[in-house]
Structure 1
Amino acid sequence: MNNNIVDIIKDKLDIVEFIRQYVPGLKRAGKTYKACCPFHKEKTPSFTCSSEKGLYYCFGCQEGGDIIAFLMKMESLSFNEALEKLADMAGVEYKPAKPMTGEELRRAGVRRLLDHAKAFYHKNLMSAGGEFARAYVKERNLTKETCQKFELGFAKNDATALSRDAKAAGYTEKDLKDAGLCVITAYGARDYYRNRLMFPIINQRGDTVGFGGRILGEGEPKYLNSPETVLFTKSHVLYGLNFAGPAIRKSGRAVLLEGYMDVIACHQAGAEYTVAPLGTSLTEEHARLLKRYTDNVTVLFDPDAAGIKAALRGALILIERGLFVKVASLPEGLDPDEYIAQYGKDSFENILNQGQDLIAFHTGLQLDLYPKPLGAQDKTRIVSELAETIGKQPDEIVRREWAKYVAEHVGVDEALVLERLRRPVLQSPFARKQETRPAPQTPVNPAEEELTAWLLRCPQHAALCAQLTQNDFSTPLAWTLFEAVRKAAAETLDAQTAAQKAAAYAPDLKNAIIKLALFQPPAEAEPARDIAACAAKLAHAGMHKRLEEIKRQMKRLGAGNVPQEIFQEYMQLQTKLKK
């Protein structure tokens, strides 16, 4: 690893401003910044980052590290991939100091092959032989410029067209299979896509990771997505987000649609803040992606039973991630691409602006299920159903407003809705249990924690605890942590560098070190005084522990059999502890 390039990148890129691209809700809290963690669900912010230290840490899930670690975790990148992206952002030339790993080489090979396939399909659409596909595109009111922007393509009705072309370019059947572009049969490789309009799937980083194909003419399935590969997990990608990001930030909202063609038509009409999942239900990963760009999402759904159910399910996932959700539908049973073609962008945006808050939408659905006037049992069922939705809202103020709304529209006291919220939700015994990872604790007691945190913050005072030994610490792990920090403090007086060096000395305790490095002392704190006090407390604890060990040893040996040196140590410890 080229340590120099890492240091240059960290100097040029402020970790707080970088993380803010993914976590817009970062707010200053003293010298650090806090927000709800992007890596796990939470209602109270426990994610912290510091420009001064160049580190982030979540006190909830114990994830932590530097700017490189954050990008690796956030976008599932290898070290080299993350460093390459950061170097590009920082305007620094980067050449990997070590060869790529086998997995990195595999991913890079798949990426190149997907780009090759994208160009192959696009050429098919735009050249002789693509007339049938171009006629379909024209029928859907897409311009040539739009086809080029989204790099639409055409897979001919030829079982080996892409395979032959890719092999001629040096790729193997295994390469094609790994990229999700062919299946291997007894007769050799057969293209995965045939007679389909091709939609390259491009992630938010601009990498082609897969394809979607729409059948031209008769056939099933109507839409076919790439199988999952080393680059592609469909629940982790939103179609159109690579183009929509800037428009989402500018407009202050994202709009969720249902399909490729809807997104493309909306972008063509100027509504570039639109994205769509890839034929799958909305997932937490989708919510996390959207949260990087905005706090506001409008879900546009088909007004049939399946569309309503999907909209509600997706909206609940979004609000659990701290997003504010509105729900809207188009009149006359038109798809978004049809509606925007007939009525234009302004009319489309009017529909979006009339969207309902989630609680109003869900309350309306529930009220429509029961005859009027509502009976007591009907009200009980409705409130119970809506309480689950209210309970998923992480914002306490919004939660109370929702409870008030439900009370007014169902015709019950607000106190009854709030009381229902306090009841545990009964779960089916067949429901899948959520896997929860027990939160690892910092392997130190409070005095050890404070001392180690102070040394990371003020390594120049390390001499004040030079006399401490392993016996003064509560566990071997606590001693290992302290030793790593003390060694780092001996090598540098820079707090950020000290944390990085300490993590290198004790990699298994990296997260504990990062957590301690972000320690914020009280205003009245005095580093030298407090470090000395912590060291004295630990030394006192160490003497007491040693005294107890000697007492047990003397008891085992019996009166008259205790060696003189042990008895002398016993007396010395007694004297010191009485001072």
Structure 2
Amino acid sequence: KTAEGEPGLTYLKKRGLGADIVKGYGIGLAPQAWSALGNHLTKRKFSKEELVEAGLIIKSAKGHYDRFRSRLIFPIADTRGRTIAFGGRVLDSGQPKYMNSPETPTYHKSSTLYGLHLAKNDIIREGSVVIVEGYTDVLALAQAGVPNVVATLGTAFTGEHVELLKRFANRAILVFDADAAGTKAAESASAYMSEFRPPKMKALRDFEGRGVESGIDVRVVVLPDNLDPADYIANHSVDSFREMLDDAEPFYDFYLTSELEKYTISETQEKEKAALAGLKFIATLDPITHEEYIGKVAQKLGLDARVLAVRFRSLLGKSTPRRGAAIKTLLDPQEKTERTFLHLIMKYPRLRSNLLADIGGDYFVSPAHAKLLAVLKGIGAGKFDTKTLDDLDNSLKAKATEVYLTEAEYEEENLAKYFEDISLSLKDFYYKRQISKLKRELESPTARRDQMRYDALFAELIELEAKRRDLR
């Protein structure tokens, strides 16, 4: 209502915000003068030390000055409506665009939500809370008819926020701004939710634990067309916004997708990294959800869920159930060696050139492994990627995925020596089988009656035994 406040009123009108909503949220303007607020409050018998502690003024070498000057002011209140901090927005091109009160004895941004004191009754009535990023987003949505809205204060949505909201809501819907540069929404989410990113995952565990305890169902909406909530509601109906809220994606589904989309899953090695990232994420969740989310990772990456489940149990360090033992624990040494050999030449094309010439399908007891060897010989030094998988029938595709995800105990710097040892083991198994076969034939009545055949078999046996000795 003053000349000095006119620029603030003009800005709010441009944002489509009316007098009632501005008054209801107590929006004001800090004057341009350096010490207007400090001087006013010292006259009211507040000491400078108290004002510094409250975050209202700043002490410098030259004296004290107001923290907020020439800024639109958004009061931040606790759940009882008591003002505990302020947010300020510049009205010109100055920086920083937004400035908030510092942490004080009464204000902790990670456990405070803007507008909660005004929204709490509507949140209780709706049973849900809409969580946005900006002050004006809260005002615009409340004015449009979405009064159960609050904003975080420059932090991610944390377990402390869940703890705060559990008295009021059973569902929390996070509304993300679409990325202005057209980047995937997952990247915006990763920046917004940096506290939840692997490998630490501390805040995610905390978030999930408190969420389960309180029964809050956390979901996510990503707005289209590079619009923030205030811009969206200015250009679309409130009904369309409510429809997006109704269709909000479960938080863990959204986060899992955002993690997997960081990888180029058309490349086999990238797909393996994506699978591992997904499994590490799942390991932080409630065990009752593990099977469900392993299935979702498998579906998104085009992998066999049973194979991923085995890998997941290995990741957790748990023993494999009897039903899956054929995949892992009951593999005989020969089949385990075959699998490891194929895993290595599948993952590292450079290993194929030297040793494939004298290793054929008859070195493998598993027909599926022999088929995979033929496939790998066919692509030569090329990558074993999604295109290669797509050319296989479903059973061989599942076997190839299983082999690729096999855990091999080696370090990159020792790869050549490890591969040599595995190759020698594969040949040793082959020679042992052939030697046993020849010995059985030599003991047969047919061979004993045919001296020439017996001599040929015996010479072959001596040659194979010599080859086997040379492996050592």
Which bin holds the TM-score, normalised by the shorter protein?
A: 0.5 to 0.7
- Equivalent residue runs for 1:77-88 within 5 Å: none
Query: Secondary structure of the equivalent of 2:275?
Result: helix
Residue 294 of structure 1: how far off its partner (Å): 2.6
Asked if 1 retains the 8 angstrom alpha-carbon contact of 2:71 and 2:91, the reply is yes
The answer to whether the 8 Å contact 2:129/2:172 transfers is yes
- Aligned in 2, Cα 1:403/1:352: closer, same or farther, shift over 3 Å? same
Give the drift of 1:330. Answer: 0.8
Task: Indicate the SS of the match to 2:220.
Answer: strand
Q: CA deviation at 1:138?
A: 0.8
Decide whether the 8 Å contact of 1:180 with 1:226 is kept in 2: yes
CA distance in 2, matches of 1:301, 1:192: 29
Alignment equivalent of 1:319, drawn from 203, 208, 226: 208
1:239 match: secondary structure: coil
TM-score when scaled to structure 2? 0.58
- Contact 2:156 2:193 (C-alpha < 8 Å) held by counterparts: no
> CA 1:216–1:307 in 2, change beyond 3 Å: closer, same or farther?
same
Map 1:310-459 onto structure 2 (within 5 A): 310-311=191-192, 313=194, 316=204, 318-321=207-210, 322=212, 323-366=216-259, 368-371=261-264, 373=266, 375=268, 377-394=269-286, 396-424=287-315
CA distance in 2 between partners of 1:295 and 1:328 (Å): 17
Deviations 1:345-404 (CA, angstroms, capped at 9, x unpaired): 2111122223222344345435544556563x344322221123323333x443332222
Match for residue 147 of structure 1 among 22, 34, 40: 22
Between the two proteins, the alignment pairs up a number of residues equal to 299
Cα deviation, 1:384-433, whole Å, max 9, x if unaligned, reads: 21123323333x4433322222223322233333334434579xxxxxxx
Q: Return 5+ residue gaps in structure 2 as ranges.
A: 197-203, 318-472
Counterparts of residues 147-546 of structure 1 (less than 5 Å): 147-304=22-179, 307-311=188-192, 313=194, 316=204, 318-321=207-210, 322=212, 323-366=216-259, 368-371=261-264, 373=266, 375=268, 377-394=269-286, 396-424=287-315
CA-atom RMSD, angstroms?
Answer: 2.5
Q: Is the 8 A contact 2:265 2:274 kept in 1?
A: no
The residue identity in structure 1 corresponding to 2:22 is C
Per the alignment, do residues 367 and 286 of structure 1 end up closer, same or farther by CA in structure 2, a change over 3 Å counting? closer
Question: For residues 232 and 207 of structure 1, what CA distance do their matches in structure 2 show?
Answer: 11
Partners of 2:178 and 2:225 within 8 A in 1:
no
C-alpha spacing 1:422/1:249, structure 2 compared with 1 (3 Å): farther
Relative to structure 1, the CA distance from residue 277 to residue 362 in structure 2 (aligned partners, 3 Å threshold; closer, same or farther) is: closer
Does the 8 A contact of 1:359 with 1:389 survive in 2?
no
Separation in 2, partners of 1:127, 1:425 = 65
Structure with bigger gyration radius:
2
User: Contact 1:253 / 1:298 at 8 angstroms: preserved in 2?
Assistant: yes
**Structure 1 residues 467-489: Cα deviation after superposition (integer angstroms, max 9, x where no partner):** xxxxxxxxxxxxxxxxxxxxxxx
Shift of residue 254, structure 1, vs aligned partner: 2.0
Percent identity between matched residues is: 35
Equivalent residues of 2:156, 2:192 under 8 A apart: no
Distance across 1 between alignment mates of 2:51 and 2:111: 22
5+ residue gaps in structure 1? Answer: 1-125, 427-579
Note the C-alpha offset of 1:170: 2.2
Q: How far apart are 1:178 and its partner, in Å?
A: 2.0
Task: Please state how far the C-alpha of 1:302 moved relative to its aligned partner.
Answer: 2.7
Q: Which moved more, 1:275-284 or 1:358-367?
A: 358-367
Any idea what the Cα deviations from partners look like across 1:190-234, whole Å, max 9, x if unmatched?
Answer: 111100000001112322111010011121111111112111121
Task: Work out which structure has the larger RCO, using CA pairs closer than 8 Å and 6 or more positions apart in sequence.
Answer: 1
Q: Equivalents in 2 of 1:301, 1:148: separation in Å?
A: 26
- The structural deviation recorded for 1:290 is 2.5
Paired with 1:335 and 1:140, the residues of 2 have a C-alpha distance of 12
TM-score (norm 1): 0.48
Q: Deviations over 1:259-312 (max 9, x none)?
A: 111111111112122222111233332232133323322222133355221355
Q: Which amino acid aligns with 2:165?
A: L
